[in-house]
Structure 1
Amino acid sequence: MKVKEISFQEFRDLSLRDESHFYEKKSKLIAPKKLQKYAVSFGNADGGELIVGIKDNSDEPNPEKRWDGFSSIEDLNGLLQTLFNISPSLDLKYTILTCPSFKGYVIQINIERTAELHKTLDGEVYLRSGAQSIHIKDPQKIVELSYSKGTTTFEDQTLPEIPPEQITDAEEIKLFLKSFSPKTDALDFCVNQNLFTYKEWFPRVAAVLLFLPSPASLLPKKCSVKITRYNTNEEKPEREHLLNQETIDAPLYNCIKVTAKRITEIISSVTVMIKNSLVKMDYPQEAIWEIIVNSLVHRDYSISDDVHVLIYNNRIEILSPGKLPGYVTTSNILDARYARNPKIVRTLHRYPDPPNKDMGEGLNTAFQKMKERGLQPPIITEVGNYVKVTLPHLPMATPAESILKYLNNNPEITNKEVRELTGIKSENLVKAEFYKLRKAGFLERVPEKNSNKSAWKLTEAGRIESQKYS
C-alpha cells in the first residue's frame, strides 16, 4: 500500500475543494452501500476521485476540523474489499494519506471510466452527473448507458515511441501541477490518472494532447484548429472569397484559449453592409467559448483532421471531427451527457480556471447567451463524419418583425434584403411574408419598382406598427 504524507495546507485544499462531477469526500463512517454508490457512479461516468476520511461540508462546517482518519491501515481493508467486490471490477488506484497535524489515515481513491457497466452488489446502477450520483432505474436508459460505455476512444491509445520524459518535463504539465493538491510529481500524476500505462510508462494520446507544446507534430493524426475567414454569405464559398487561414497547434488548455481569442479578434473586424449601413458582427463570447470547448474536448481524435472554424459575413461554422457519440443525437444533445474523452475532460477540469467548469451545461450556456443577445440559437447538425455547429448572426425576431424594424429606419426593402436579414433562403417564402403584411394593411409596393427591382414600403398603419420594433 502506498502511503503519502501531506501538509496541513494540502489537507485544507482537499477539505475546501467543492464536490463536483469528479470529486467526492466522505467520512470514514460511510456505509458500504453508499460507498459503492459513489464508486459505481464515477466508473459509469467519466471517472473521478473519492476521498474517504475527510468529512463533507454538511457533516462538519469548519474545513479545518474535517479530518476523520481511520485508526490503522488495517481498518481500510474492509473498505477496499467493498470496492473490490463490485462486478464488473472497477479500474481504481488508491493512496493512503497521513498528515502530521492529525491522527489516523485517509484514503484517496482514483476511479477510471471503463467500457463496462458497473453495478453495486445489490444490482443498482448509478451515474455521476455534476455533484450528484444519480440512481438510474429506467431500463431503456440503462441500455443506452451500457451501449455508450462500450465505445472505444482514441485518447487511450498508447504511443511507445514518445519517451515519458518528453511529457513529464514539458512546461505545460509543470504549470498545471503548481496548483495541484496534494502535491505530486509529473510521473506520479500521469500514472495515477492513467495518462501513462502503469508498468511501461507509455504515454497515451490524451497526455500528448494535454501537455506537449505541439501535439500535431507528434501524433499520427491531425489534431489542431484551423480558422478560415471567408468574405461572403454564400453557402459554398469560392476561392476568391478566402481572405485568410491560420492553424493553432498548442496544448489543449492553451489551444482553447487562443482559438476563442482569435475568433473574437477576427469577428470584431467583420462588418456587413445593409442598406448603406455598416453593421458589426457581434457574438456573445461565452457562446463562442463553450462551442470551442465542446468541439475540442469531445471530438473524435481517431479521425485525421483538424477542428475547422469557418467565419463568414453572416455566420460562424464550427466543424468537429466525429459523429455525435454514444446515444447522443441532435434532438437530445442539450439534455444528454456523454464524454468521448473522459481523461481529457477530467484533467482540464482540474485547472485552476477550468474551461469546462460547468459540466454538462456548455451548450445550454451557448443557447442562453445567444438568446440574451437577441440572436437566433445555434444550429447543430451532423454533416458526413462531422458535427457542425452554426452560429447565425441573425435576429431572433420573426420575419415580419424584422421587416417592420428595418423599415422603421429605411424607406423601402427588397426580397434580397429580407433574405439577408432573416436567413430565409427562398424568395417565395419572403414573398409570402410581404403578402401577409400587405393583407394586414402594413405594407404596400413601391409603385415605380417592379419585377426583379420590386420593393416594399410602409403604409401609414405600418409606420405606427413599426414603432413597436424601434
Structure 2
Amino acid sequence: MNKQRLAALLDKNESTKLDFKEKLSIKTEWEKKELAKDVSAIANSKGGRGYIIFGIEDKTKRVVGIEEMPHLEEQIQQIISQRCDPPIMIRFDMVSYDEKAIGVLTIYKSSQKPHQILQNGSFYLRRGSTTDIARREEIAGMLQDSGLLQYETTALNNVHVDQLDSNILMEYLANSGLKIEYEKIDNIYPLLEGLGILCREEDLDKFHPTIGGMLIFGYKPQQFLPHTGIKIIDGKTREAQYFEGDITSMLNHVEEYLENIIKKPDYPIAALFEAVANAVVHRDYFSYGREIIIYISSGHIEVSNPGALCHLDGVQSLLNENNPYRRNNWLYHRLLVLDEKKRFLKTGSGLKRIKNSFSDHGRVKFINNEKRNLFKVILPGGFKTLY
C-alpha cells in the first residue's frame, strides 16, 4: 500500500469492501471482537479484496490519523487468526498521508467462505456500508460457492417419490447407459440415491426426492420450490407469463413462447435461448422469493438471474473463461445427459458467444450486482417492436 493507492481509496465511498474508521484500538475484549467481526464481514462479502482504513472520519472522510504502535500488525494478525475460522489472509500497512499516520488493513479475497467468529459462532457480512449478521440463505449460498454444500442433493423430506416423473427418470438412465426396466423402478431406489436423485430417511427407511432430483425429474417442482420458475414480462402491457415444470420442459415452453412473439427474421434468438439456459443452470437457488425474470420491451430484452458471479473477479473474467466455475455443477451434468436440444453442451466462452451474436444489432450488457445478488444479461432489440 502506498500514498497513491490510499488516495484512490479515499476518493471512494464506504461499501461492502471498504470501511473507514476514526480510531484503531485493540486493548479491550470488545474492541478485539469488533475488529474480527468487521474483517470477517468484508471477507464474506462478494467481490475482490477489501480494506479497513483507520484514522479517517467515516462521515466526513477527514484525515485524523492514528497513533503508531510497535508490533501492531502482529497483534492484528493474532486477533484475526484466533477469532476467525477458517483463517483470513490480511495485511496491515502504515501510510503517511497529509502528515498523519493512516492504518490500512487489507483483507484479501477468500475462497474459503463463510468465515465464522469462533467466540459466538456467528457469520457476518456487509450490507452496503454496515456490518450485519448473515441470514440463513446467505450462509448457505457462501457454503455452496465454496463447494462445501450442494443445494441440489439436499433432501425434500416432506415430498413423496411419486412426485418424480418415472418417464424422465427412465430416459435419463437409458441415456446414461443404464438399462433398467420400468417394472423394477422400486428396486432401483438405492441406485437413484447414489446418483443424488433420491435421499434416504434412515430412521423410517424411506426415500425422498432431492431438490436437484425434483428440479430435473419432478412433475411440478414449483409446487414445492415456488421460486424456481421463469417469469416473462411484457414491457408494453405489463402482463406476465409464468412458466413451470421440470427444467428441460420449462425451457422448451419458454423458447416456444419467445419464438411466437419475436418476429424479426434475423434476430439472433439462439443467443437469447442460451442466456436463458445459462440463467437456469447458474442461478442461486438459495435465493428464495425471486425467480428468473425475462423482461421484454421494444428496445431491449433483459434476463435477470438471482445469483451474482462467484469465484470470479468480474464479468471480464467470465467473458474470457473457457472452463467456467458452475454454481450448480450437479444440475449441469444431469442436464447434459437429459437435454435433447444439447443446450448445455455449449460450455466455455458462453457470454462472449452471446455478445458476438448481437454484433450487428447493438451492444450487449452484462451486469453483476453483488449487493442485490443478481446477474443481468441485457440484449438489444434493434427494431421498433417485438410483437
Q: TM-score range by the shorter chain?
A: 0.5 to 0.7
- Deviation per CA, 1:316-352, whole angstroms, max 9, x where unpaired? 0011112212335222122341111111101001124
In the alignment, the residues of structure 1 paired with residue 274 and residue 255 of structure 2 have an alpha-carbon distance, to the nearest angstrom, of 9
- What are the residue-to-residue correspondences of 1:8-27 with 2, within 5 Å? none
Task: Give the SS at the match of 1:227.
Answer: strand
Q: Is the 8 A contact 1:377 1:391 kept in 2?
A: yes
Superposed, 1:436-451 pairs within 5 Å as none
Distance 1:361 1:229, change over 3 A: same
The question of 1:208 aligning with 2:214 is answered yes
Contact 1:154 1:300 in 2 (8 A): no
Q: 1:107-118 maps to which residues of 2 (within 5 A)?
A: none
1:81-128 deviations in Å (ceiling 9; x for gaps):
xxxxxxxxxxxxxxxxxxxxxxxxxxxxxxxxxxxxxxxxxxxxxxxx
1:300 to 284, 292, 298: 284
CA shift in 2, pair 1:285/1:394, >3 Å: closer
Secondary structure of 1:356's counterpart equals helix
In the alignment, the residues of structure 1 paired with residue 293 and residue 376 of structure 2 have an alpha-carbon distance, to the nearest angstrom, of 9
The Cα of 1:282 is off from its aligned counterpart by: 4.9
Listed as ranges, the matches of 1:67-78 within 5 Å are: none
Q: Residue 175 of structure 1 is aligned with which of 171, 177, 188?
A: 171
How many Å separate the matches in 2 of 1:335 and 1:376?
20
TM-score, length-normalised on structure 2? 0.54
In structure 2, which of residues 242, 246, 252 is the aligned counterpart of residue 247 of structure 1? 242
Runs of 4+ in 1 over 4 A off after TM superposition: 143-148
Tell me the residue number matched to 2:336: 349
Aligned match of 1:257: 252
Partner amino acid for 2:353? T
Q: 1:316 to 1:158 in 2, by over 3 A?
A: same
Return closer, same or farther for 1:335/1:188 CA change in 2, 3 Å cut-off.
Answer: farther
Task: Give the letter for the 1:195 counterpart.
Answer: I
Equivalent residue for 1:187?
189
Moved more, 283-292 or 188-197: 188-197
Query: In the TM superposition, what whole-angstrom CA distance separates every residue of 1:342-388 from its partner, at most 9, and x where no partner exists?
Result: 111010011244320122243232123222xx122421103422111
1:290 alignment partner, one of 274, 296, 301:
274
2:354 equivalent in structure 1? 366
Structure 2 residue 376 is matched with structure 1 residue 388: yes
Greater shift in the superposed pair: 196-205 or 342-351: 196-205
Per-residue displacement from partner, 1:374-424 (whole Å, max 9, x unpaired)?
Answer: 1224211034221111001249xxxxxxxxxxxxxxxxxxxxxxxx9xxxx
Cα separation, 2, equivalents of 1:349 and 1:328: 27
Partner SS for 2:319: coil
Maintained 8 Å contact 2:198/2:213: yes
Q: How many Å separate the matches in 2 of 1:331 and 1:155?
A: 28
* CA shift in 2, pair 1:163/1:249, >3 Å: same
Change (3 A) 1:327 1:311: same
**Aligned equivalents of 2:194 and 2:149: distance in 1?**
20
- How many residues align? The count is 230
Tell me what 2:12 maps to: none
1:333 partnered with 2:333: no
Counterpart secondary structure, 2:170? helix
Cα distance in 2 for residues equivalent to 1:316 and 1:223:
20
CA drift of 1:153 comes to: 4.3
1:247 partner letter: Y
Structure 1 position 375 matched with structure 2 position 372: no
Given candidates 140, 147, 156, the residue that maps to 1:159 is: 156
Correspondence for 2:11: none
* Cα distance between partner residues in 2 of 1:321 and 1:197: 26
Contact 1:153 1:340 in 2 (8 A): no
Q: Kindly state the Cα deviation for residue 266 of structure 1 after the two structures are TM-superposed.
A: 1.5
Q: Does the 8 A contact of 2:163 with 2:219 survive in 1?
A: no
Q: Match of 2:271, as an amino acid?
A: A
Q: Which residue of structure 1 aligns with residue 295 of structure 2?
A: 310
| Cα distance in 2 for residues equivalent to 1:380 and 1:353 | 25
Alpha-carbon distance change, 347 to 330 in structure 1, aligned in 2, over 3 angstroms: same
State the distance in 2 between where 1:335 and 1:152 align: 27
Equivalent in the alignment of 2:25: none
- Residues 163 and 332 of structure 1: CA distance in aligned 2, closer, same or farther (over 3 Å): same
Does structure 2 conserve the Cα–Cα contact (< 8 Å) formed by 1:320 and 1:388? yes
For the residues of structure 2 that align with 1:144 and 1:377, how far apart are their CA atoms?
A: 33
Counterpart CA distance in 1 for 2:354 and 2:190 is 36
User: In the alignment, residue 321 of structure 1 is paired with which amino acid?
Assistant: P
1:333 counterpart SS class: helix
159 and 301 in structure 1: CA distance in 2 versus 1, 3 angstrom threshold? same
Distance 1:327 1:146 in 2: 14
Alignment of 1:113-128 (within 5 A): none
Amino acid at match of 1:223: T
Q: Are 2:221 and 2:244, in contact at CA under 8 Å, matched by a contact in 1? A: yes
Equivalent position amino acid for 1:215 in 2? P
Contact 2:312 2:318 in 1 (8 A): no
Task: Say which SS state the counterpart of residue 261 (structure 1) adopts.
Answer: helix
The residue identity in structure 1 corresponding to 2:367 is: T
Query: Quick one: structure 1 residues 177 and 153, their matched pair in 2 at CA, closer, same or farther if it must change by over 3 Å?
Result: closer
Q: Which blocks of at least 5 consecutive residues in structure 2 are unaligned?
A: 1-108, 114-144
Distance 1:263 1:376, change over 3 A: same
In 1, Cα distance between equivalents of 2:200 and 2:266: 48
Counterpart residue identity of residue 155, structure 1: E
Give the Cα separation in 2 of the matches to 1:256 and 1:362: 17
- How many Å separate the matches in 2 of 1:281 and 1:311? 17
Change (3 A) 1:183 1:364: farther
TM-aligned CA deviation for residue 166 of structure 1: 2.7
Alignment deviations for residues 124-176 of structure 1 (CA, whole Å, 9 cap, x no partner): xxxxxxxxxxxxxxxxxxx9766653464432321111122432x53322333
CA distance 1:360–1:199, shift in 2 (3 Å): farther
Identity of aligned residues (%): 21
